[in-house]
């Protein structure tokens, strides 16, 4: 690891819809964790991120249709509906039956599941050595406001339990707004006295809808992925500190071990740090890693960078440390 990473350990708003959406679909063979990624000093890295993200947000006009997602060679990809909910399933034939993933994507509760997240699902399955991965295409705001996405996440989790997946084998991934939804899901499971999953993996989680933290103000220009944001439509009319939509204010006691990853330049840096402190205070096993100089949801948007490779390796190691093979 070529740069210092701040670690604090204790006892999608926007996973930008465009991040990854214009990338080609995966082809055989399956992704593997590279031994190293693109490395550069900070000034050059910020210029690289700016150029890459500018191209995502200002794509050249094209008549080409979006790429059709293809699972890696030997894998299966199935899209189907369950109780009105659209679920997508990836099956890794070499994965362990003791590892199953539930992915709750980001996008500010307004962006849909897209190929960037499907590709991320492949990476998550490889890192976790999971046999099955379920990606939830939950209902979106502004048409469907709170608690629509949470209800869909609960439906997906109940579906997995009904299929026979053991909760102690389920890893829940969420980035940005998806991280918010992961925490809301755990709170709802606790409320309904349902078993918690094994682990929560949170990338750049959006933990409070409030906008007054220092990083929300100071990182508007240097967060080259998220930048300035507006109040969300998902929780229109609700108190922004309501723990149902700002789970950092809820009681986290009994939540599974969680890994939080954040970028040092991102708007949601304080969200992640506040969550780590609250989890520790509530006796939840939590690890927070801040990747210096990185913007929001960097591993999703810029998986080729060394910082992203480091974050992938950390996810793999965290899962292996806390779960049986």
Q: What are phi and psi of 135, to 5 degrees?
A: -115, 130
What confidence score (pLDDT) does residue 299 get? 98
pLDDT tens column, 176-214? 999 999 999 999 999 999 999 999 999 999 999 988 899
Q: How far apart are alpha carbons 29 and 86 in whole angstroms?
A: 27
pLDDT tens column, 10-57? 333 344 455 765 444 545 589 999 999 999 999 999 999 999 999 988
On the CB side of 95, CA atoms within 13 Å amount to 26
Residue 9 has pLDDT above 80, yes or no: no
pLDDT tens column, 212-263? 899 998 999 999 999 876 667 899 889 999 999 999 999 999 999 999 999 9
What confidence score (pLDDT) does residue 64 get? 72
- Which positions ≥6 away from 22 have C-beta within 8 Å? 56, 59, 66
Question: With bands split at pLDDT 50, 70 and 90, how would you rate the model's confidence at 66?
Answer: confident
Q: Are 159 and 102 in contact (CB under 8 A)?
A: no
Residue 7 has pLDDT above 90, yes or no: no
DSSP state of 249: G
**Using CA of residue 294, residue 9, residue 178, residue 306, what is the dihedral sign?**
positive
Mean pLDDT within 158-174:
98
**pTM value surpassing 0.85:** yes
| Tokens linked to 18 | 């465009």
Nearest to 106 by CA among 192, 213, 21, 187: 21
Label the pairing between strands 170-175 and 258-263.
unpaired
What confidence score (pLDDT) does residue 84 get? 81
pLDDT tens column, 116-159? 999 999 999 999 999 999 999 999 999 999 999 999 999 999 99
Residue 272 has pLDDT above 70, yes or no: yes
What confidence score (pLDDT) does residue 20 get? 60
pLDDT tens column, 76-113? 999 988 778 899 999 999 999 999 999 999 999 999 99
Q: What percent of the chain has pLDDT over 70?
A: 90
Mean pLDDT within 55-72:
82
């Amino acid at each position: 690891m070529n740069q210092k990473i701040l670690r604090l350990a204790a006892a999608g708003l926007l996973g930008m819809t465009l991040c990854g959406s214009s990338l080609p679909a995966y082809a055989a063979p399956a992704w593997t964790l590279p031994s190293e990624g693109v490395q550069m000093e900070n000034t050059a890295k910020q210029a690289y991120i700016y150029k890459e993200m500018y191209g995502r947000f200002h794509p050249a006009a094209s008549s080409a249709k979006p790429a059709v997602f293809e699972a890696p060679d030997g894998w299966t990809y199935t899209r189907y509906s369950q109780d009105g909910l659209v679920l997508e399933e990836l099956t890794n034939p070499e994965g362990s039956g003791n590892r199953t993933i539930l992915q709750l994507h980001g996008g500010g509760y307004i962006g849909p599941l897209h190929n960037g997240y499907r590709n991320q699902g492949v990476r998550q399955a490889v890192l976790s050595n999971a046999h099955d991965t379920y990606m939830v295409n939950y209902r979106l705001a502004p048409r469907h406001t709170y608690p629509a996405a949470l209800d869909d996440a609960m439906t997906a989790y109940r579906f997995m339990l009904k299929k026979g997946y053991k909760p102690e084998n389920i890893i829940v991934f969420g980035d940005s707004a998806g991280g918010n939804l992961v925490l809301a899901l755990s709170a709802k499971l606790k409320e309904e006295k349902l078993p918690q999953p094994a682990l929560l993996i949170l990338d750049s989680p959006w933990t409070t809808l409030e906008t007054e933290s220092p990083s929300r103000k100071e990182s508007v220009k240097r967060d080259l992925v998220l930048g300035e944001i507006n109040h969300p439509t998902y929780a229109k009319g609700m108190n922004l500190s309501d723990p149902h939509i700002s789970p950092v204010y809820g009681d986290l006691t009994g939540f599974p071990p969680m890994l939080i990853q954040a970028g040092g330049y991102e708007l949601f840096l304080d969200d992640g740090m506040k969550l780590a402190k609250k989890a520790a205070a509530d006796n939840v096993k939590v690890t927070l890693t801040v990747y210096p100089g990185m913007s929001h949801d960097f591993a999703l948007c810029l998986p080729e960078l060394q910082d992203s490779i480091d974050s992938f390796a950390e996810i793999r190691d965290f899962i292996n440390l806390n779960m049986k093979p």
